[in-house]
Amino acid sequence: MPRVNYIAPTTVDDAVKALAAASGLAKVMSGGTDLLVQMKSGRLKPDLIVDTKKIPGLIGIREEGGFTIIGAATPGATLSYNEKLEHTYPGIIEGLDLIGSTQIQGRASLAGNLCNASPAADSVPAMIAARAIAVVAGPSGKREAPVEAICTGPGRTSLQKGEFIVEFKIPTPKSRQCDAYLRFIPRTEMDIAVVGCGVNVTLDANGTCTDARVVLGAVAPTTVIVEDAAKALIGHKLDDATLSALDAAAQAACKPINDKRGTIEYRTKIAGVLARRTTAIAFERAAARA
């Protein structure tokens, strides 16, 4: 790998100062499972790596004021093995679990998956569906941004110089609220999504949907919140008419590319199928959360 400087600050302020003062390209590292691959391939040539894992709170899970708060650099394995997290947000954990191998899970983080800014990032749709918030530290202090505001295009984020994500705040689910994530890949493991779909729904006592978010990955330059899919669900039970409207809305939201994993037509069709399947799982789970 090309020469690089490395620091591991122990406070948020020191990390912000180092990132803001860097003369060349400075990259934030949590698990490094994308960063080091891109450095080895020559795609990225940072002058400085700022490792955030030694900052207190960057690794860890806590509950506070109606939110579950997850440190930005917490490894996937730590999150997957947390039974409470898996029970509360099964869809988020399903998405996270699909990132890479067991080895990658030992290091990969939610913040890294988000800031690598791949349209196919598996942990992102369910985070957005859950209305998760990113807490961003920067030269002018901390600010909060919805997760969907971070990625602006393939490999691009809205983070400014000196900024990095310190933690995610995920609202505690209400009664009869739950989520699910499904992705389609041509094999069973170790591949990148052809389509990913995260769904988060809230039901009333009769099984009628009162709130919903349907989010698609890998079908556009960024993750897509399908507003019309949510509209198709809210006020309805999960019958055939609702599923058809949902399917049509999901397909209409797709602006995919042709590549080796799927054509535009194929991805669009699969998006509708996955939206229906994921929503059915989310409904079933939500109904059981009375």
Partner 1 sequence: MSKHHVTAVINGEPVEYLCEAQQTMLDVLRDELNLTGTKEGCGSGDCGACTIIVDGAIVCSCLMLGVEAEGHKVTTIEGIAQGDKLHPVQQKFLEHAALQCGFCTPGFIVAAKALLDTTLNPTEEEARYWLAGNLCRCTGYDKILRAVMDAAAEMRGEKAAAE
Q: Which of 49, 79, 225, 229 is in the footprint of partner 1 by CB under 8 A?
A: 49
Cβ closer to partner 1: 53 or 267? Answer: 53
The residue written with tokens 């099984």 in the block is: 207
Contacts of 250 (CB under 8 A, 6+ apart): 197, 214, 216, 226, 229, 271, 272, 274, 275
How are beta strands 141-146 and 133-138 bridged, if at all?
Answer: antiparallel
Please report how close the Cβ of residue 39 comes to partner 1 at its closest, in angstroms.
Answer: 8
Query: Which member of 103, 140, 160, 258 binds partner 1 (CB under 8 A)?
Result: 103
Instruction: Give the helix/strand (H/E) hosting 282.
Output: helix 264-287
Q: Which among 32-40, 86-94, 194-202, 209-217 is the span making contact with partner 1, rule CB under 8 A?
A: 32-40
Q: Which of 36, 145, 149, 248 binds partner 1 (CB under 8 A)?
A: 36
Residue 106 binds partner 1 (CB under 8 A): yes
CA 203, CA 279: separation in Å to the nearest integer?
12
In the structure encoding, which two tokens stand for residue 125, read together? 């749709």
Instruction: Report whether 194 contacts 270 (CB < 8 A).
Output: yes
Which residues make beta-bridge pairs with 177?
202
- Mark the segment that binds partner 1 (CB under 8 A) among 101-109, 110-118, 211-219, 279-287: 101-109
Q: Between residues 32 and 198, which has the closer beta carbon with respect to partner 1? A: 32
Among 41, 64, 240, 260, binds partner 1 (CB under 8 A): 41
Output the smallest distance, CB 77 to partner 1, in A.
Answer: 5
List, in sequence order, every residue forming a beta bridge with 189; answer none if it has no partner.
none
Structure tokens at 235: 């006020």
- Computed on alpha carbons and rounded to an integer, the radius of gyration of the chain in Å comes to 19
- Residue from the set 64, 83, 189, 240 that interacts with partner 1 by CB under 8 A: 189
Which residues contact partner 1 by CB under 8 A? 1-6, 8, 32-33, 36-37, 39-41, 49, 51, 53, 75, 77-78, 100-107, 189-190
